[in-house]
A and B are shown apart, each in its own frame.
Chain A
C-alpha cells in the first residue's frame, strides 16, 4: 500500500525539524506523526520517512523495532493495554488480563476479526499508585476491576 504524508502531516514535520540540529533527530517525532496518519508503521511509511529525513530505510527500521509503541502491524481501533507488572499484579492485573483475553477471544498482540479491538500485555505504565490499570489507545483507566473493564469494553462495542 502506497503511503504519502498529507499536507497537514508535512506541516507538522516541518515544525519538528526546527527543533533539532540534524534531520535524523526528528525521526521519532516523524514516526509519531506517521502513525497518527496511517495507524501503524508499514514498510512504505519507513521508506517515505527515510526519504524525507535523508537517512537509510534500514536506520528507520532499526528505530521502529526498538520501541514497543510503534506498531509493526495494524492494530484494533481500540488498542487495549493491560499492565501486569508487579504493583498491578498485587492488585489483580492477571485476572483482568485473562478476563480481557477471554472476553475478546484474542491473545497478546492479536486483533479481533472485526478490527475493533486489539490486546497488549504491557510493562509498568507509571500508575502503580492507582493499580490495577489498563490503557485504551492514549487514555489511562486507573483503579479498575474486572467488572469495570467488562463495562468499558461493552460500551465501546456498542459505540460503533
Chain B
C-alpha cells in the first residue's frame, strides 16, 4: 500500500537518505513553475487539511492576496494537543525533510518569506529531531539566503521553530498567531480571516504539519496521481492514530475511505479479550462519538464520517470496549475542555464548568434524568455561540454521547426530579440536588 507521508524507508530523517530518495527535487520542480501553477495543482489534487476541518489546502492558499506591500507568512501547525492525536510527531521524527520541503513549496506558492513552525512545548524531543533536520537543510543551502545560489532563483525563505508552552487552545489558528506575537493566546474574532489579517496584521496561511508534508509528492507525481488515491472527495492517505482498547495501538497511514472496522480489527489488531466495542470517537476527542453497534460500513474520510454523524477531525480513533464507563469518559473529556477554555467567551468558560459539575454529580450516583436534558441544553447553548470552535468541541461530545447512548446514561441516573425548566439551572446552584 502506498505511503505518502511516512514512507517505509529506513533513516529517512537523515538528509542524505532523503536526498538519495529524490528529496528536494520537488521544490526544484516547483521553482520552475509559477506560484499560481502550484496553487492550481494543489487545488486540483483535492488535498484537504489534516488539522481538523478538512478544508481544501489549495483553496486556502488562493485566498492570499497577490498584490500587497505587506510581508506574508506561513504558520505550520504542530500544536497537536487534541486528545487521541499523536501523528504529527511521527513526521517530525521520521520524515522531517519532507515537511521542510513542503514548507518551501507552500511559501513559494503563497509568497511567504518566513514560516513559523509552531510545535507544542511538551514535544521537546520531537522539536530536537526537527531542529536537527532543519539545521542540516540550512547547511545544505535548501533553506535561507543560500537558496539563491542553490536553486538559482530570487526566492528565499526562512523557517523558524516556535515552541509552545502547554495550552491546547494554541492549536486554534488565530490563537496560534497571538501566541507567536507574544500575547495572551486568545482566539480572534473572525472575520477578518488570516489571509487578510494574520500575523502582525499581515496576510498569513496556517496549515497542519501533515497537510504540508503531502505537498512535495503532489508536485513530484502530479495532482492526477494524488486525486486517484482513496476517496475522490477527500483523496490521499491519512495518518490514523488508533488508541484505547485495541491490541495494537499506533499510527497507521491508510488511504481515505478505509473502513473504520478494518482499521480497528485488521490494522489495530481488534479489541483485547475479543470484547465488543461500546463506543468509538473517530477523529479526536472533540468529534461526536459513534455507537459500537453502528460501525459497519463507515468509511474514514470527511464526507462519509459526516454522513455517519461525526467528523474526521485529526484522524485520532479512540476505541472503547463494552466494559468502559462512558460517564467517566465523558466527565474526563469535559474536564479537559473546562481546563483548556481560554475564558474569553461566557458560554464556553461557564458552560464547560457547569457540564463538568453535572457530570460529576452523575458520576457520584446522584444524577437525575433531568440532568441529561440539562447537559444537552447547556451544550446547545455553547455550540455556535463562541469566538472559536473550542466551544463546539466541548459541546459535541456531551450532546452526542448523551443523545446516542441515552439508554446507557438513563441506567446511571436514578432519581427523577421534576423541576420546571427555569429552575433547572437554579437547582445547580443550591438546594434540591447537592453539588
Contact = CB atoms under 8 A, between A and B. Distances in A.
A46 interface: no
B84 A66 contact: no
B390 to A, nearest CB: 13
Interface stretch (A1-9, A26-34, A100-108, A145-153): A26-34
A63 B184 contact: yes
Interface string A51-69: 0010100010011001111
Contact of B318 (A19, A21, A63, A86): A86
Contacts of B342: 66
A91 B242 CA distance: 13
Nearest to A60: B182
Contact of A129 (B86, B123, B183): B86
B83 A128 contact: yes
A69 B165 contact: yes
**B interface, size bucket:** 35 or more
A138 B124 CA distance: 6
B225 interface: no
A129 B165 CA distance: 22
B19 to A, nearest CB: 27
A139 B81 CA distance: 17
Interface in A96-130: 122-130
Contacts of B251: 129
A128 B166 contact: no
A63 B167 CA distance: 11
Nearest to A23: B182
B433 to A, nearest CB: 26
Nearest to A21: B200
Contact of A67 (B123, B166, B200): B166
B37 interface: no
Interface of A: 19-22, 24-29, 31-32, 53, 55, 59, 62-63, 66-70, 84-87, 89-91, 122-131, 135, 138-140
Interface of B: 71, 80-86, 88-89, 120-125, 158, 160, 162-168, 179-185, 200, 241-245, 249-251, 285, 316, 318, 320, 324, 328-329, 332-333, 336, 339-340, 342
6 contacts: A66-B167, A86-B84, A124-B336, A128-B249, A128-B316, A139-B125
